[in-house]
Amino acid sequence: MRLGPRLQPLAAYFAALLLKAIARSVRWQEEGTGHVRSLKEAETPMLMAFWHGRLAMIPAAYARVGGQRVKILISEHRDGEFIAQTMAHWGYEAVRGSTRRSAIKGARGMLRAARQGYDLAITPDGPRGPRECLQDGVLELARWTGLPIVPVCFAASRAWRFSSWDGFVLPKPGSRILVHWGEPIWVPAAASEAQLQDLRGLLEGVMRRQRMEADRRMGWSSHNESVP
């Protein structure tokens, strides 16, 4: 159901309130935070990459590792404005565009943000999938900016799992949350097309295994083991 211009900001406000309430109620378990804290100590911005369906707890997870200044690439698809307005209540600033190579507008906005010292955030299977299939734009962005890609994922012991294209996961209040931060992946500025494709396979594999292992440890080993 599409929301009108008057209802959408209100709905985004209440969505942000819900996410914050859930984040305060859950029991957090975090792994790999040392990777992020090392980058923070070195004053090196990062490019966070997470699957579209695992967006819900990432703003809280980012804040918990000391994140403060971040811009997230959000599509100009009709659902993007709602996501952008919801994320704004967390302090995530939006750059409108896409992870596809042809999305020059989004790339320029993210490049400007990187030069200004922002962390960047991207859902490399968005805005419309296929689910957990990495689009090449994230690697190009990492190459252009020089920022390391840091894959991050969460899983929950109890959650609502929606039948949307991305299999969106919303933890239930009071559940246990496992957040895993992966090791930084650097993309050389002079990477060849063959190297980019190798890195694409590497990153996609890392992110899929990261999600599956987190789900398994939270008791959801049968969920989404195969993806399109």
- What are the tens digits of pLDDT across the range 56-87? 999 999 999 999 899 999 877 667 788 888 98
Residue 52 has phi, psi (to 5 degrees) of -55, -40
Number of domains in the chain: 1
- Model confidence at 4, pLDDT cuts 50, 70, 90, reads low
In a domain, 91, yes or no: yes
| pLDDT for 2 | 62
Q: Considering only CA atoms, which of 21, 178, 2, 179 is closest in space to residue 89?
A: 21
In a domain, 181, yes or no: yes
In a domain, 101, yes or no: yes
In the predicted model, what is the mean pLDDT of residues 201-206?
A: 97
Residue 225 has phi, psi (to 5 degrees) of -70, -30
Q: Distance of alpha carbon 149 from its chain centroid, rounded?
A: 11
pLDDT, averaged across the chain? 89
CATH number of domain containing 82? 3.40.1130.10
Q: Considering only CA atoms, which of 3, 171, 185, 8 is closest in space to residue 86?
A: 8
In a domain, 93, yes or no: yes
pLDDT in tens, 159-184: 999 999 999 999 999 999 999 999 99
In a domain, 50, yes or no: yes
Residue 91 has pLDDT above 50, yes or no: yes
Residue 180 structural domain? 27-217
In the predicted model, what is the mean pLDDT of residues 196-203?
A: 96
In a domain, 22, yes or no: no
In a domain, 16, yes or no: no
| pLDDT for 107 | 81
Q: Across-strand partners of 70?
A: 119
In a domain, 185, yes or no: yes
As a whole-number percent, the residues of the chain with pLDDT over 70 amount to 89
Q: Considering only CA atoms, which of 126, 88, 130 is closest in space to residue 106?
A: 126
- Model confidence at 98, pLDDT cuts 50, 70, 90, reads low
pLDDT in tens, 114-139: 999 999 999 999 777 899 999 888 99
